[in-house]
């Protein structure tokens, strides 16, 4: 239980984290590579550039922020990568280690690079908050009695792989991350708007983006990206509460880059 007690950066929420992040990152690489090998990856063009720009700016800003805290060691094994795939699905996701995928279907809702930054900040927040680690840790406790990952891999490799698939959706026909809980999604919303502001993207675009996204939820089947998110009213209230803090980060970036 050495890793059981952890704190989410920025929010300070206590979480259960039984897995060394380095081992979880290693486990995710195979699934991520398999997904890219079977997908139509976009390697050039303005849309690809928008995704790459937003990813690089936000990840660097987050690393700079974490360098001032004790949390910087948590991402020392991260190797950020930002890919766009040609797929009409309205979704994006990030695996442990900073492996981000955007689907082309979400770009019309993003509209601009700042809109992309809203989604990118949210996805990077999932990785920084180690939500996947937390979800798999709960699975280890429930199904394997909370044993160390190294023991689980050695003694129960099939069960451990199944837990990973349940936690991340690896090996499913979609080949993408499964939706997080509402608690995790709300936390990623909060962290994401701060992260985009730290990178110099106007956080006031966030509620505008979510209004466009939520307009799609009136159909028979809401977008995958909204499957577990808070309802529009709660999101608007949360963003209004977060905006003064986010604007302070944005102003700090503006002052530093004049």
pLDDT digits (tens, 9 = 90+) for 58-105: 999 999 999 887 666 767 778 899 999 999 988 899 888 899 999 999
Q: How many CA atoms lie within 13 A of 106 on its CB side?
A: 28
Start-to-end CA distance of the chain, whole Å, equals 48
Quote the tokens at residue 2: 């050495």
Q: Do β-strands 5-7 and 99-103 pair in parallel, antiparallel, or remain unpaired?
A: unpaired
- Note the pLDDT tens digit of each residue in 21-61: 777 777 778 778 888 999 999 999 999 999 999 999 999 99
Q: Is the dihedral of CA 13, 14, 19, 20 positive or negative?
A: positive
Say whether 215 sits in a helix, a strand or coil.
helix
Average pLDDT of the chain, as a whole number? 82
Which helix (H) or strand (E) segment holds residue 5: the answer is strand 5-7
**Whether pLDDT at 17 is above 80:** no
Of residues 143 and 149, more confidently modeled: 143
Over range 151-179, report the average pLDDT.
55
């Amino acid at each position: 239980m050495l890793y059981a007690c952890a704190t989410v950066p920025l929010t300070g929420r206590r979480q259960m984290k039984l897995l060394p992040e380095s081992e979880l990152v290693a486990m995710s690489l195979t699934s991520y590579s398999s997904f890219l090998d079977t997908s139509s990856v976009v390697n050039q063009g303005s849309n690809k550039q928008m995704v790459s720009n937003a990813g690089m700016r936000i990840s660097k800003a987050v690393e700079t922020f974490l360098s001032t805290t004790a949390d910087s060691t948590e991402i020392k094994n991260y190797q950020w990568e930002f890919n766009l795939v040609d797929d009409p699905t309205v979704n994006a996701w990030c695996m442990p280690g900073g492996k981000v995928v955007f689907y082309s279907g979400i770009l019309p809702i993003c509209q601009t690079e700042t809109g992309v930054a809203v989604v990118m900040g949210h996805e990077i927040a999932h990785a920084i908050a180690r939500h996947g680690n937390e979800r798999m840790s709960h699975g280890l406790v429930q199904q394997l009695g909370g044993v160390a990952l190294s023991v689980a891999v050695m003694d129960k490799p099939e069960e451990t792989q199944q837990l990973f698939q349940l936690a991340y959706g690896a090996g499913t026909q979609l080949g993408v991350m499964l939706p997080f809980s509402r608690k995790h999604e709300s936390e990623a919303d909060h962290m994401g708007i701060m992260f985009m502001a730290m990178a110099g993207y106007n956080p006031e675009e966030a509620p505008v983006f979510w209004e466009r996204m939520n307009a799609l939820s009136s159909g028979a089947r809401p977008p995958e990206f909204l499957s577990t998110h808070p309802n529009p009213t709660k999101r608007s209230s949360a963003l209004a509460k977060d905006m003064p803090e986010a604007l302070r980060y944005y102003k700090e970036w503006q002052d530093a880059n004049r």
